[in-house]
Amino acid sequence: MMRSWSIPAGRIFGVEIRIHLTFLLLLAYVVLTEGAAGGAGAGRAVALVGIIFVSVVIHELAHALAALHSGRPAKSVILLPLGGVTLMDETAPQDRLANRELRIAAAGPLINLLIAFVAGAVLQTVAPELGIFSQPYVHSAHLLRSLVWINVFIGAVNLLPAYPMDGGRVVRAYLMRTMDPIRATRRAVTISQGFAMIFILAGFWRNTWLVLIGFFLFVASQLEERSAVFHAVLENVRLEDVMLTDFATLSPADTLEQALDKAVHTLQDDFPVVRGADLVGVISKQSIVEALRASGNGYIQPVMNRLFEVSSRYDTLAIAFRKITGRGLSLIPVVDEGHLVGIITLQNLMHSMSLLAESKKLKRNEELA
């Protein structure tokens, strides 16, 4: 989901930053509209979008630092022209503390309004001829004035009770006091879509920038709803519902060539190694091939990994997802009373979560129908 319609832009303070492709739409809009209206050229249009981008980055970093200080670190951020979608650790429980959500949500708008105030005060002092309160407030021909008002608008829009804007996050936190996170998110998304339609309709009547704001708000709310469904799948589905029960195993006494032959005839990339009824290790197809290349044929036992994680069949997907992504594992044996009853692989896990999320979506559509 994180990689849908977004491109990677590195990490800041350990948080993965991705740029949503709606920024390209914004750039095209600025170049076309301001060029048609006698703007200051494509270079200044790019600079204007750059100011928006930097303002959004600072906005989201403020959220990330506030979340880290509150003991709820961010994992990834998708940057959109109005702000961003900050994804916390998917394996962490949903936060039901409204006061904590309020502190995290307030950090973004406050930093934008602070930037606007400081920049406005400096410009008013050193260059009053720029006319901070002159229209148009945002235009590529007036970049310094635009810096002030872009931060004002980003801060103000994020105070709206429209999820996933910061005001909407506070609304959802209060809704979660009386309902489950998924219902609260959907209620908040419905409110947000109402605001999006208001912006779009008002934009057709008054200003096309409002149409763009409504569109970006709609896209952001859809991203957040998908994230909430993904989280619900992680928290509510047990491994026994998705684990692979028809799988191949290896013995420590098997040779590497025997293991490779078995790997060729299965779809598995990783194998549990069992001695009798006891699980004694795991080994990957890649490790088998590398050992054959390095030392020729030998036994599985000296090559297998004896340090491995196991899960209970009653563990949730969140637990397995944390082990696989956090510790770089590719296979987790699932045991019940000490006996191997299934395996979970990263490919199997992602496939199952995708199907379960789609199933939830279809059930919701049936309920609405």
Q: What is the CATH number of the domain that holds 275?
A: 3.10.580.10
* Domain co-membership, 256 together with 136: no
Distant-in-sequence, close-in-space partners of 169: CB < 8 Å, separation ≥ 6: 101, 104, 105, 163, 188
Residue 360 lies inside a defined structural domain of this protein: no
pLDDT of residue 2: 47
Cα–Cα dist 270/259, whole Å = 11
Of 236, 257, 273, which residue constitutes the final position of a domain?
Answer: 236
Per the CB < 8 A criterion, the answer to whether 49 and 32 are in contact is: no
Residue 43 lies inside a defined structural domain of this protein: yes
Residue 363 lies inside a defined structural domain of this protein: no
Cα–Cα dist 46/26, whole Å = 10
Query: The domain containing residue 277 runs over which residues?
Result: 240-355
pLDDT of residue 64: 83
As for how many domains the chain has, the answer is 2
Per the CB < 8 A criterion, the answer to whether 328 and 288 are in contact is: no
Cα–Cα dist 339/238, whole Å = 18
Sign of the alpha-carbon torsion through 84, 89, 90, 96: negative
Q: Is the peptide bond before 164 cis (omega within 30 degrees of 0)?
A: yes
Residue 369 lies inside a defined structural domain of this protein: no
Of 188, 218, 236, which residue constitutes the final position of a domain?
Answer: 236
* Domain co-membership, 299 together with 188: no
pLDDT of residue 242: 84
* Domain co-membership, 86 together with 129: yes
* Domain co-membership, 194 together with 265: no
* Domain co-membership, 160 together with 212: yes
Sign of the alpha-carbon torsion through 257, 260, 266, 269: positive
* Domain co-membership, 73 together with 158: yes
pLDDT of residue 250: 93
Q: Could you say which residues of the chain have pLDDT below 70? A: 1-4, 34-41, 72, 87-99, 229, 233, 326, 353-354, 356-369
Average pLDDT of the chain is 82
Which of 259, 63, 97, 284 is closest to 176 using CA atoms? 97
pLDDT of residue 112: 95
* Domain co-membership, 200 together with 287: no
* Domain co-membership, 227 together with 244: no
Residue 368 lies inside a defined structural domain of this protein: no
* Domain co-membership, 61 together with 118: yes
Residue 27 lies inside a defined structural domain of this protein: yes
Residue 361 lies inside a defined structural domain of this protein: no
pLDDT of residue 1: 47
* Domain co-membership, 130 together with 168: yes
Residue 159 lies inside a defined structural domain of this protein: yes
Of 207, 236, 265, which residue constitutes the final position of a domain?
Answer: 236
pLDDT of residue 120: 94
* Domain co-membership, 75 together with 112: yes
pLDDT of residue 255: 93
pLDDT of residue 252: 92
* Domain co-membership, 148 together with 266: no
Which of 20, 58, 357, 37 is closest to 215 using CA atoms? 20
Per the CB < 8 A criterion, the answer to whether 196 and 202 are in contact is: no
Cα–Cα dist 74/201, whole Å = 34
